Amino acid sequence: MTDYMELAKEVVKRAAANNVEAEAVITQDSETQIKVSKGEVEQLSQSNARGLGVRVIDGGRTGYAYTSDFSDDGIEQTWRTALELSKVATADEYRKLPDARAFSVEDLEIWDDKLASVPTSDKIAFLKAVEQSALDYDPRVILAEFCQYGDAVSHFYLANSNGFAGQYGRTTAYSMLMAIARGEDGEMTNAFGMGASNYFGDLDAKAIGDEAAEKAVSMLGGKPVPTQVGTVVFDYFVGAEILGTLASALSADAWQKKRSFLMDKMGQQIGNDMVTLMDNGKLKRGLASAPFDAEGVPTSATRLVDEGMLQNLTYDSYSAAKAGVQSTGNAQRAGHRSLPVMGPSNFYMQPGNVSKDEIIAGVDKGLYVLSVMQTGGIDPVTGDCSMGANGLWIENGKIVGPVGGVTVATTLGDFLNNITQVGSDLHFVPMFGSIGAPTLRVDNVTIGGTKE
């Protein structure tokens, strides 16, 4: 059996002998994808893949090549191609490999020993249970769309000519579906339910199906409310969509390209003191957790916004070199075919100590948003935020009926400043990366509906 760590180091040794910086990454993945519709398996795929990527940097000029051919000739041709490409690339003085730094060997709890041995039949049975749970929740749920399960058993090996060599394994499993509900008048609504973890045993089929069905049924019969400025409570799924845009605005790459609405606000108060935003590559059981990033830099828990104060950005080695600071370990890779790119790890808002129900109970009048559609969209450059929304109306702390066909509009700056309650129910949404949000109460939001 090939020792991939030793192979990566050997490739680096050969390429670096040409008086260049060299890096080798090897990925080995086993994946399962299942889709179910009406109790029948619609799609089942299982794949095993491995690949080698080689980066060569010669005086700031980068060459990159990759292969899935692990023969001696295939490997040699790959690093030689990277070397040749580096000779003709454009030089960039900030493009260099990071210095080797020791990384923590603490258990991040990202490896499920049992996942690889879970029978495919058990995974199929689990997904059928997700679908059935949604359909059994209420007779008005007529269909479960996009009902799917996926998992991956991944190994990552990295070595470079600055003396770094490291490896880790990570497992992930997720399931999701969209429940479609139909009312008496034929009107239809839909909502997602999902679950994701590093551990297969953490997934709860009934909870996933029930979440989608409950939300879809609750929004049936929704009508617009009068246009007003008021309180909006954002469901965690919607909050995660907004936070995903904030993650982009808080990256050094965006600042260096002058593409963030937060430009020049470092050290300033940009949000309510309830707002603390983290990027934590060391989060226990984090879907994006790892001991080191895609360049071998140790991951870290970076407090970007602390009690409303902007304190830091996320950096990879390139953006850190340009800024003259240390990387926060935020280089990401989409497998062996890609160069490292800047990106969040586990990005989330620090949860509070009140439940979703307690937040709703404290609202005199407002909208609880369960689903949104991008209309004006969420723009990390201008900070504009406008979305079509459906949800539930709150009066005197109680939900009194469904709302549909409205818009909610604010700016990202006002969103941060007008957060007045942060829930304790932190959920991570893998659809937007590994973005986590609790239920959020935001005041002074424009709700666009009907004219009085």
Which runs of E-coded beta strand occur in 183-223?
188-197
Judge if 210 and 296 occupy the same domain: no
Residue 300 identity (one-letter amino acid): S
Judge if 254 and 131 occupy the same domain: no
Q: Using the 3D structure, point to which of 159, 185, 215 is the last residue of a domain.
A: 215
Judge if 275 and 192 occupy the same domain: no
Q: Using the 3D structure, point to which of 200, 215, 230 is the last residue of a domain.
A: 215
Q: Please check the confidence at residue 1 and state whether its pLDDT lies above 80.
A: no
Judge if 313 and 330 occupy the same domain: yes
Average pLDDT over residues 376-398: 95
Question: Which residue's entry shows tokens 């060459």?
Answer: 63
Judge if 197 and 279 occupy the same domain: no
Average pLDDT over residues 374-395: 92
Judge if 32 and 113 occupy the same domain: yes
Computed from CA positions of residues 132, 137, 142, 144, in that sequence, does the dihedral angle turn out positive or negative?
negative
The band of 393, judged by pLDDT with boundaries at 50, 70 and 90, is: very high
User: Widest CA span of the chain, in angstroms?
Assistant: 76
Q: How far is the CA of 361 from the CAs of 225, 228, 393, 399, 418, in angstroms?
A: 20, 20, 12, 9, 18
Q: Which of 211, 170, 206, 127 is nearest to 30 (CA)?
A: 170
Count CB neighbours of 139 within 10 A. 10
User: What's the rounded Cα separation, in Å, for the pair 32 and 123?
Assistant: 9
pLDDT of residue 160: 98
User: What token pair was written down for 299?
Assistant: 């991951």
- pLDDT tens sequence across 82-128: 999 999 999 999 999 999 999 988 999 999 999 999 999 999 999 99
Judge if 26 and 175 occupy the same domain: yes
Judge if 270 and 203 occupy the same domain: no
Question: Which residue's entry shows tokens 């039949």?
Answer: 121
Average pLDDT over residues 246-265: 97
Average pLDDT, the chain: 96
Average pLDDT over residues 162-174: 97
User: What's the rounded Cα separation, in Å, for the pair 109 and 150?
Assistant: 19
Asked if residue 177 lies in contact with residue 193, where contact means CB atoms within 8 angstroms, the answer is yes
Judge if 193 and 232 occupy the same domain: no
- pLDDT tens sequence across 65-78: 999 999 999 999 99
Q: Which of 429, 69, 448 is nearest to 225 (CA)?
A: 448
pLDDT of residue 431: 78
Q: Please check the confidence at residue 384 and state whether its pLDDT lies above 70.
A: yes
Q: Please check the confidence at residue 375 and state whether its pLDDT lies above 70.
A: no
User: What's the rounded Cα separation, in Å, for the pair 303 and 316?
Assistant: 16
Q: Using the 3D structure, point to which of 215, 232, 257 is the last residue of a domain.
A: 215
Q: Please check the confidence at residue 22 and state whether its pLDDT lies above 90.
A: yes
Q: Report phi then psi at 167, rounded to 5.
A: -150, 155
Number of domains in the chain: 2
DSSP assignment of 276-342 equals -EEEETT-TT-TT--SB-TTSPBP-EEEEEETTEE---B--HHHHHHHTS---S-EE-SSTTS--EE
Average pLDDT over residues 46-70: 97
Judge if 267 and 361 occupy the same domain: yes
Judge if 378 and 257 occupy the same domain: yes
pTM: 0.96
Residue 399 identity (one-letter amino acid): I
User: What's the rounded Cα separation, in Å, for the pair 86 and 56?
Assistant: 6
CATH number at residue 127: 3.30.2290.10
Share of the chain above pLDDT 90, in %: 96
Judge if 211 and 237 occupy the same domain: no
- pLDDT tens sequence across 225-236: 999 999 999 999
User: What token pair was written down for 436?
Assistant: 């986590």
- The range of the structural domain enclosing residue 347 comes to 222-452
Asked if residue 401 lies in contact with residue 411, where contact means CB atoms within 8 angstroms, the answer is no
